[in-house]
Amino acid sequence: MLALIVLMAADARAEIAVSSVVFTCEWGVTLPITYIDPSDEPGFAVVMVDGKLVAMRQARSGSGVRYVAVDEQDGYWLRIKGRDATVSYLAADHTASEQVLLKECRSD
């Protein structure tokens, strides 16, 4: 039974693609992003923002790809379209407006 569980875990790992991309944003700020893409469900991204690692989950997007912070109290958003990215922050307060933190980010 233990061998079967280990085999199933190995199969699950084989279906997850992990990749990293570094974007260069306005004023030369670098934005490293690591993507975790399971083949059978929406993906995740890990981003360094404001000096901390933020785990994000893929969310619906009309165009491109959008990620939102897993911890809703973080309020970070990542939008990617082609080779361009933007990082925004939206406080949990219902009266808050979105603030763009990093813009004009482009990958090589």
pTM recorded for the entire structure: 0.78
| pLDDT band for position 6 (cuts 50, 70, 90) | very low
On average, the pLDDT of the chain sits at 83
The answer on pLDDT for 67 being more than 90 is yes
Residue 15: what are its φ and ψ, rounded to 5°? -95, 10
Could you list the residue range(s) of the whole structural domain that residue 28 is in?
A: 17-107
Given this model, what pLDDT does residue 1 score?
36
Asked whether residue 98 is domain-assigned, the answer is yes
CATH code of residue 31: 2.40.128.200
Count of structural domains, the chain: 1
Asked whether residue 86 is domain-assigned, the answer is yes
Given this model, what pLDDT does residue 4 score?
34
- Name the nearest CA neighbour of 106 among 86, 78, 77: 86
DSSP reduced 3-state for 40: coil
The answer on pLDDT for 21 being more than 90 is yes
The answer on pLDDT for 39 being more than 50 is yes
